[in-house]
Chains A and B, each alone.
Chain A
Amino acid sequence: RKEVEQDPGPFNVPEGATVAFNCTYSNSASQSFFWYRQDCRKEPKLLMSVYSSGNEDGRFTAQLNRASQYISLLIRDSKLSDSATYLCVVPNMDTGRRALTFGSGTRLQVQP
């Protein structure tokens, strides 16, 4: 099983729709999780952090399900500008090493 798995998509949704992505992780000891947004041919940028059951920031909600080892990202009232790839990120738990493990991303295309 990959450390971090995501559905690559693409998710094609109309403006105003609600869309949700899931991400599963393999290490049950992981304590923190992140969603990054990456625009085409650009660097990833931190969108949200999830440390407990969930986090909400405007139209974006991230939720954590520890029992099933997945995190989700919900986007309400989708905008054209939300079109991007969303990367699920879990800190690497190796002793003495602090780096991030990235999922391969879920591509979202919001259509007018």
Chain B
Amino acid sequence: DGGITQSPKYLFRKEGQNVTLSCEQNLNHDAMYWYRQDPGQGLRLIYYSQIVNDFQKGDIAEGYSVSREKKESFPLTVTSAQKNPTAFYLCASSSLADTDTQYFGPGTRLTVL
């Protein structure tokens, strides 16, 4: 089955620790995105990538880092510099020909204790 997966589904971390969220897709999409959603809020763009080994900051990149070493994978690291990391993190992908149609993974709910 083609799709986009994220792991883990739930993640708990202690304050001051870095944590990496996984995102994998087998849709052969070039573009991948990371969004953050807070309760009662819309999604906000953290980082996006349109090609391997290249990525761009979104609206709220501070305290986050990404890598794109493979087309299928776009992991997000939430660093200790992110002041309010507790949120629902969603990864998405799209083809470059149609970046308006994005397919989302099931999300990772991160809680900082």
Binding site for B on A (CB under 8 A): 4, 8, 32, 34, 41-46, 49, 87, 91-92, 97-105
Q: Which residues of A contact B101 (CB under 8 A)?
A: 46, 49
Interface stretch, picked from B11-19, B36-44, B63-71, B76-84, is B36-44
Residue from A32, A49, A101 with most neighbouring chain B CB atoms (10 Å): A101
A80 to chain B, nearest CB (A): 23
With A43-B105, A44-B90, A44-B104 as known contacts, state yes or no: A98 contacts B99, CB within 8 Å.
yes
Q: How many residue pairs bridge A and B at CB < 8 Å? A: 52
Binding site for A on B (CB under 8 A): 31, 33, 35, 40-45, 48, 56, 58, 88, 90, 99-102, 104-107, 109
Residue from A42, A43, A98, A101 with most neighbouring chain B CB atoms (10 Å): A43
With A103-B42, A105-B42 as known contacts, state yes or no: A42 contacts B106, CB within 8 Å.
yes
Q: Which residues of B contact A99 (CB under 8 A)?
A: 33, 45, 48, 58, 99
Q: Which residues of A contact B41 (CB under 8 A)?
A: 104
- In the complex, the chain B residue whose C-beta lies closest to that of A51 is B100
- In the complex, the chain A residue whose C-beta lies closest to that of B103 is A46
9 A–B contact pairs at CB < 8 A? A8-B40, A41-B107, A44-B104, A87-B43, A97-B56, A98-B100, A100-B43, A100-B102, A105-B42
Residue from B42, B48, B100 with most neighbouring chain A CB atoms (10 Å): B42
Residue among B31, B40, B42, B107 making CB contact with A43, cutoff 8 Å:
B107
